Amino acid sequence: MNEQGKQRCDGVLLGNLNDYVLVLSRAGFSENLFALAAQQLQKALDAMAVLMFAYEAQTDNLVALHTTLQEGEDLRLARILGRGLKGQSWRLPAASRARLLSERVVLEPTLTGISFGEISPRIGALLERAFGVGWFAALVLQQDEEFLGVAVIAWKFGSLPPVTAALQAFATVTSSALRRWRAENSLRESEQRWQFALEGAGDGVWDWNIQTDRVFFSRQWKAMLGYLEHEIGVSLSEWSSRLHPEDQLGCQTDLTRHFNGETPVYQNEHRLRCKDGSYKWILDRGKIVEWTADGRPLRMIGTHTDITARKQAEANLQQLKEFNENIVLNMTEGVVMTDVQGRVVFVNPAMTAMLGCDAGALLGHSWEVFVPPENQAVVHAADVRRAAGQSDRYELELRRKDGRSVSTLVSGGPHFNLKTGVFAGTVAVFTDITERKRAEEALRLQSLVLDQIQDHVTITDLDGRITYVNDIESRALKQPREALIGRSVEDYGEDPVRGATQREIINRTLQGGYWRGEVVNYAADGSEVIFDARTQLIYDVDGAPLVMCGIATDITERKQVEMELRRRTAVLAGLNETALAL
């Protein structure tokens, strides 16, 4: 769940998409839908700003119609660009248009990239710094092959945009709403049937005589299901016979509620069978506009809107949400999410296993009851940092339900309400490092033992590069341990006359697995150190050579005594020869 990423996609987006659909669907023909869509997109996608462009087919240009920038920000933008933004036309080269229509959603980290070269890299960089922007997206607004425009969205530096599937869902909804809005505005002078088509935000229109069950279905209503004008009659059964069996009860319930005056408008989402046998999701909206003299419903008109793409987008978002949840549920790391009071609102199975308890022991409670008293201050400090919007990473010992300790590495940070931006709690990932800590302690003890023995120990890789020396070896060579690690043992020096060379030792050890002999090394001050050395290969569990280990005894003093004895013996022998000669 990180980090996605790193990109954002969670259940909140699904809720935002539903809210966005409802807001756009309720917009009347008198509202500026470009402005409304820009404001709602900025809110739903947690963006810094949104700029809406309409496509002008006559000039093949994009015209800037609305921006959510504040007046001061708009002026600052105009000063940097050298011109105002709203109402300006932007050239759309053929290659850029082809890319937009092909990809449908274009994500770019720079303003130059998202403007398809219309803004130079220098100006783009100035704007990015001035507004602190880090990501841009262009959403193509297109319905039934009609290119309507582009929505350009900017996010603050450090924020990640939603995944492409989520942006595509918002683009689809916006495109449908814009086309509907344009249709409503072009038809608002028509008779009541067409006026309500505008108000009902529909693509297909129906007009139902409730007393005779005769229905007028518009050409688009029929085309939506794949039929020609003459292939659909005027009976109500043309609709009801194509209604998905699972949706029939819901439709009847919503119609009855509207007939009874419980709802001002009838609205229902259901599936209708197309000519090719497939099903489309339809947003069906209608209203009783005439009544009989005795108060019974007489005439009802309404619209059909194809919401298949939106339903598919919602299904994709739900699938992504479930996918992410499955990842968290099957992680080997423990995951805990809390609210602002520190109460656990989510915990995965790995965390309950780590603590030896069930989820009920954590949900609704603070997980800090599993923290020993001596570690409480560390956790409280982390809570303060996260409430301030900071993430952190630290080691923490927990106490399981059975009293055993478990060492963990905690990576955590805040999470925020995407609608309000308000701090909503914390998310923490716990990695069990108990075995690692035990291994580290074992290595520490081994190092302590090796540092206290009198033998000199050097460990190298198979190329003879030093990975470890014990303390007595470091002191003998008069160099700090840190200065020796990473160097070749050939830097120890050698005297080929009086002992083996380092390369000879390495080669013989690699060939035979073992070597023993005398070697002359030189300390940092140039003094020689003579060793009786033994080296051998160390193998891994599969029997493959892993490292070379050398263990040596310092025989420098012994060698010096031997040399002195040989010198004195030679002197005495010379004196004896001289005496005999006399």
Closest CA to 187 of 281, 267, 303: 303
Which amino acid makes up residue 430?
Answer: F
Query: DSSP label at 210?
Result: T
Closest CA to 474 of 448, 456, 500: 456
Q: What is the pLDDT of residue 406?
A: 92
* 3 state SS of 547: strand
Give, in order, the Cα–Cα distances in Å from 76 to each of 90, 343, 469.
19, 44, 63
164-187 and 308-330 helices, crossing angle to 10°: 160
Q: Which residues contact 33 (CB under 8 A, 6 or more apart)?
A: 24, 27, 177, 178, 181
Which residues make beta-bridge pairs with 517?
Answer: 533
Q: What is the pLDDT of residue 3?
A: 44
Q: What are phi and psi of 478, to 5 degrees?
A: 55, 40
> Which H or E run includes 238?
helix 237-240
Contact 553, 521 (CB under 8 A): no
Closest CA to 551 of 469, 476, 484: 469
Q: Is the pTM of this model over 0.85?
A: no
Distance CA 243, CA 247 (A): 7
Closest CA to 135 of 151, 111, 171, 100: 111
Q: What is the pLDDT of residue 16?
A: 84
Distance CA 206, CA 240 (A): 13
Which amino acid makes up residue 270?
Answer: H
Distance CA 457, CA 474 (A): 9
Contact 227, 204 (CB under 8 A): no
Distance CA 298, CA 261 (A): 14
Beta strands in 68-145 (DSSP E): 89-91, 105-108, 133-143
Q: What is the pLDDT of residue 186?
A: 62
pLDDT in 10s for each residue of the chain, 582 residues: 444 433 445 567 778 888 888 888 887 666 788 889 889 999 989 899 999 988 888 788 888 888 898 878 888 888 887 777 777 787 888 888 888 888 889 888 888 888 766 788 888 888 888 888 888 899 999 888 888 899 999 999 888 788 888 888 888 888 888 887 777 666 554 555 454 544 444 578 899 999 999 998 888 889 899 999 899 999 999 999 999 999 999 999 999 999 999 999 999 999 999 999 999 999 999 999 899 888 899 999 888 999 998 898 888 877 777 776 777 777 888 999 999 999 999 999 999 999 999 988 899 999 988 999 999 999 999 989 988 889 889 999 999 999 999 999 999 899 888 778 889 899 999 999 888 888 777 677 777 777 778 889 999 999 999 998 988 889 999 999 899 999 999 998 888 888 889 999 999 999 999 999 999 999 999 999 999 999 999 898 888 998 999 999 999 888 888 888 888 888 787 777 777 766
Encoded tokens for 367: 């997980």
365-370 long-range contacts, CB within 8 A, separation 24+: 366/338, 366/342, 367/336, 367/338, 368/342, 370/398, 370/399, 370/400, 370/401
**Which residue has tokens 């990695």?**
431
Distance CA 550, CA 505 (A): 10
Distance CA 409, CA 411 (A): 7
Q: What is the pLDDT of residue 191?
A: 52
Q: What is the pLDDT of residue 276?
A: 96
Quick one: residue 543, left, alpha or beta (phi over 0 = left, psi -120 to 50 = alpha)? Answer: left
